[in-house]
Amino acid sequence: MNFFKSFLASCLGSLVAFVVLIFLVFSFFAAAISSLSSGDSQAVVEDNSVLHLRLDVPLSEMEADNPLEGLPIPGATDSPIGLLKLKNVIQHAAGDTKIKGIYLDVPVFMGGYAMAKEIRDALLDFRKTGKWVVSYNEVMTEQAYYIASAADKVYLNPEGEMEFNGMAIEVSFFKKMFDKLEIKPEIFRVGDFKSAVEPFMLDKMSEANRLQLNELIQSINNEVVKEIALSRDIEFARLKEISDRMAATTTREASELHLVDSLVYYDQVLDDLRDRLDLGKREDVTFIKYNKYKKSVSDYSSSKNEIAVIVADGDIVQGKAQQGMIGSTTFAQELRKARESKKVKAIVLRINSPGGSALASDVMWREVTLASKEKPIIASMGDYAASGGYYIAMGCDTIVAQPNTITGSIGVFSVL
């Protein structure tokens, strides 16, 4: 009898503890979400603030709202930053009298070179208003340095690392492995330069693929070096030589070659910011992070004439859109909605896609051509607009791209 009493008491105690735990967890999230949705719906920006841009996070074309953003959840990862939102934030900060400058924190960059250029151009436009940009990192990849070079001052940790040695492309080949496993893929290809299937049919790079990849990286590298040279006031030929010879393998060499302005520690960077803000040595620098400041930036205007921005980001597939994929059905519905809306006076089609299904691409192209008959439609190319991504752009009235955009259509293939 005593055993059953103890057993029931133990079960009841466990049940009560479980209910209390659930209640506490629910209360925590409810309070936190309520705080985020109400208190931070309009960010409070203090006078004499510095916008802190930390860009070593995933990037995408569009930014999705995350109601849990900012919560101290163990193991939570940073939400992707949307390129369009980021550019709007930088532009808004340029006209915000409370923002005096930008502190740029970009040790690595997770986007492509076309995306990097758009961010870099936004920072240069910010500086044209008379405001400053200061960059500091302990390490910098080559792509990160490309963005950081747009700053007024580029600082690097004395014991840090920096990459500036050009570009390379590596291709893996699987034909010999398939031969050993007695696997023979059925490959159909049209176009000598359609190299996506080469890893399955060859054991080395074809001359056509070697030619196009060399042209690609040389074009991108020359554009990157040209822009860095302009920002750092170094002759192009001299900077190209530094890159080709791997002359800047240490932080000291990077400083001596004027790739960076100074080798300093974080506290010394804060001293620089205090001087720029006319603060005393013991006064704190007021930073406002991107995730908070963006809440004070509206994505909408009061104009009656609307421009619809439709983003095609990812691989092209049939049916509905999924994460990282452009669904032809979803795309067609959105484009049709913009075409039929009386409020929408023009359409911008933002493309960041390596291509995909030929059938899905054709369905999307048809909707683009129908829209172009009724209102202006402009294609804006991001990091990629290749194959099917290039095909859907052909239905637009105007096509614009970055110098570093990878675009074109070089054939079709199928693997069985």
Predicted pLDDT of residue 261: 98
Q: What's the average model confidence in pLDDT over 340-365?
A: 96
Residue 199 confidence (pLDDT) above 70: yes
The pTM score is 0.87
Place 43 in a pLDDT band, splitting at 50, 70 and 90.
confident
> Could you check whether 49-66+78-165+246-296 and 306-415 share the same CATH topology?
yes
Q: What's the average model confidence in pLDDT over 196-217?
A: 94
- CA 154, CA 262: separation in Å to the nearest integer? 7
Residue among 87, 194, 240, 375 flagged as catalytic: 194
Beta-bridged to residue 187, according to DSSP, are 415
* Number of helices and strands in the chain (H, E): 14, 17
- Domain 49-66+78-165+246-296 in this protein, CATH class: alpha beta
Helices marked H in 134-248: 142-148, 175-180, 198-201, 207-232, 236-244
Predicted pLDDT of residue 12: 62
| Six-digit token string for 229 | 């040279």
Q: Judge whether 387 counts as a catalytic residue.
A: yes
Segment 44-66, tens digit of pLDDT: 899 999 999 999 999 999 887 65
Distances (CA, A) of 95 to 276, 284, 374: 18, 23, 36
Segment 244-275, tens digit of pLDDT: 999 999 999 999 999 999 999 999 999 999 99
- CA 362, CA 387: separation in Å to the nearest integer? 11
Predicted pLDDT of residue 40: 47
The CATH H-level (homologous superfamily) assignment of domain 306-415 is 2-enoyl-CoA Hydratase; Chain A, domain 1 (3.90.226.10)
Q: Judge whether 194 counts as a catalytic residue.
A: yes
Per-domain residue ranges of the chain: 1-39, 49-66+78-165+246-296, 169-245, 306-415
Residue among 149, 195, 328, 387 flagged as catalytic: 387
DSSP for residue 108:
S
- CA 335, CA 273: separation in Å to the nearest integer? 47
Segment 139-183, tens digit of pLDDT: 999 999 999 999 999 999 999 999 999 999 999 999 999 999 999
Q: How many CA atoms lie within 13 A of 223 on its CB side?
A: 17
Helix or strand holding residue 24 (H, E): helix 2-34
Q: How many CB atoms lie within 10 A of CB 235?
A: 9
Residue 301 confidence (pLDDT) above 50: yes
Place 85 in a pLDDT band, splitting at 50, 70 and 90.
very high
Q: What's the average model confidence in pLDDT over 12-29?
A: 60
Q: How does the average pLDDT of the chain come out, rounded?
A: 90
* Residue whose structure tokens are 């916008």: 51
Segment 110-130, tens digit of pLDDT: 999 999 999 999 999 999 999
